[in-house]
Chains A and B, each alone.
Chain A
Amino acid sequence: MQDRPTSVELLEAAADFVESELVPAIQGARQFQARVVANVMRVVAREIKLEDPLVRNEVKALAHLLGHDSPHLHSLDDLRAADVKMGEELTARIRAGEADDGDWRQNVLAVVRRSVEDKLRIANPRYLENDIAIRNSREED
């Protein structure tokens, strides 16, 4: 067990320094790269916080979609492996045309959308919020 600060606290401290001290002090290509560095650190911090619950939900949803029993897995490595394996099964079934139309297509679209949204919750939550706002405003039109 490590002492405080936690990994997330350390990353956020580093990202704050890069953003508020480093970026204003440099120019051009390096300044752009420094912004990217700060963003990467924020992505990793969100991943440390969110990955476990998100991958658990995704494994459950994929198992249900594919007609499997929900696997009883505990370690994150096992969950990731099960996630990839079922993802491959799903893509094979899409390629075979099983999701071209019908009820199953709607279920596939819902699960795939949830997975993509979960990736954005870590990689770019603002993009996801904007997208949801745009879709809501279209529905009001």
Chain B
Amino acid sequence: MEKIEPDEMVSRLTAFIRGEGHFDSVTIENFRKMPGGASREIWSFDCAMDRGGETSRRAMVLRRDPGAHNISTNRRHEFMVIRAAFEERVPVPEVFWVSEDPAVLGSAFFIMERIEGETLARRLLRDDTYARAREVMPTQLAEILAKIHRIDPVKHKLDFLAEPGDNAALTEVKRYEENFRRLALEPHPAFELAFRWLLKRVPKTPRKTLVHGDYRIGNVIFGPEGVRTILDWELAHLGDPMEDVGWMCVRAWRFGNDQKPVGGLGTRGDFFRAYEKASGTNVDPESARFWEVFGNLRWGIITISQARTHIDGFVKSVELASIGRRTAETELELLNLIE
């Protein structure tokens, strides 16, 4: 990928926004790279836009592909899913513009509203500031999830979302098994045992809905009052809504707060009941357990994939490299769940 210095990015971005929004002039200030974002670059900036003598100002975020990647997703599709969620009053940032033209910023990107707040799960789980947020968030997250699962993909023309076929659970297991066989560089008997366990317990999936695909507290912006917005929609797909419920219970998102399995914040029972109340559907505990095991396995395969992104030289990063040594954490949790 073309290497573009931040100053050059600002001038190209200014021209892009002026063209897209038909503005007379655009001024970008405070352009800076945000921490985190192992799979996508995040840049923050303030944008002043003039048209016909009137100036509007918005706090914005640019989400850009870093280049080639093992799990490639599509920025335009992510943009359209977030727009659908926004229209259905799910708390998400307002999205403005998207471009897949590499001539603009070197790789695909989109621009959305910047929502202020905290994203570090460790602060949520430990700081006094967030005591109230810790209380209300399990219920809020269940209610928002029920709302996401009600988004009609046909109404919002999300026809690019992959169709999971007759059995969404089996389709997902097979998809991640294929990823695993392609990416793993050494034998992983714990994962093989988990695949056997899952294949024997594939649930019949009565509902097929939009699935967020990465619903966990790390993808939430929150404040002392609770949830502000849901981020990272790049893995959205059609499938079994229980997939999001199980993913929320994955061990890695508890940050050591293991007595509260749902994101280190609440119990499975309370979360399931709040979701049932908000969605008007039942949570089958067996099915939720299947998706929790699958979620841990999936996170394990993602750790392998992230390490491969570094090893194969797509993106050289000590953070991605170090994630390769976190695979064993998931293996241990899988053994705990399936023994």
Q: Give the interface of A toward B (CB within 8 A).
A: 28-29, 31-33, 36-37, 39-40, 43, 84, 87-88, 90-91, 94-95, 97, 99-100, 108-109, 112-113, 115-117, 119-120, 122-124, 127-128, 130-131, 134-135
Instruction: A135 to B33: give the CA distance in the assembly, Å.
Output: 41
B36→A29 contact, CB < 8 A = yes
Instruction: A87 to B34: give the CA distance in the assembly, Å.
Output: 41
| Given A36-B319, A131-B336, A134-B258, residue A95 in contact with residue B329 (CB < 8 A) | no
How distant is A116 from chain B, measured CB to nearest CB, in Å? Answer: 4
Q: Which residues of B contact A122 (CB under 8 A)?
A: 325
Q: Which one of B78-86, B185-193, B233-241 is at the interface?
A: B185-193
B329→A127 contact, CB < 8 A = yes
| Given A91-B187, A94-B189, residue A123 in contact with residue B326 (CB < 8 A) | yes
Interchain CB contact (< 8 A) of A87 among B186, B196, B318, B328: B186
B332 adjacent to chain A (CB < 8 Å): yes
B331 adjacent to chain A (CB < 8 Å): yes
B258→A123 contact, CB < 8 A = no
| Given A36-B322, A37-B318, A87-B186, residue A94 in contact with residue B328 (CB < 8 A) | no
Within 8 A of A (CB), among B4-40: 33-36
Q: Which residues of B contact A112 (CB under 8 A)?
A: 189-190, 193, 331, 335
How distant is B42 from chain A, measured CB to nearest CB, in Å? Answer: 9
Interchain CB contact (< 8 A) of B339 among A90, A94, A109, A117: A109
B258→A130 contact, CB < 8 A = yes
B165 adjacent to chain A (CB < 8 Å): no
B336→A90 contact, CB < 8 A = no
Other than the given A32-B36, A95-B195, 8 more pairs (CB < 8 A) read A28-B34, A29-B36, A43-B325, A88-B187, A91-B189, A99-B193, A116-B331, A123-B325
Instruction: Name A87's closest neighbour in chain B (CB-CB).
Output: B187
Interchain CB contact (< 8 A) of B329 among A40, A84, A97, A120: A120
B321 adjacent to chain A (CB < 8 Å): yes
B256 adjacent to chain A (CB < 8 Å): yes
Q: Which residues of B contact A120 (CB under 8 A)?
A: 328-329, 332
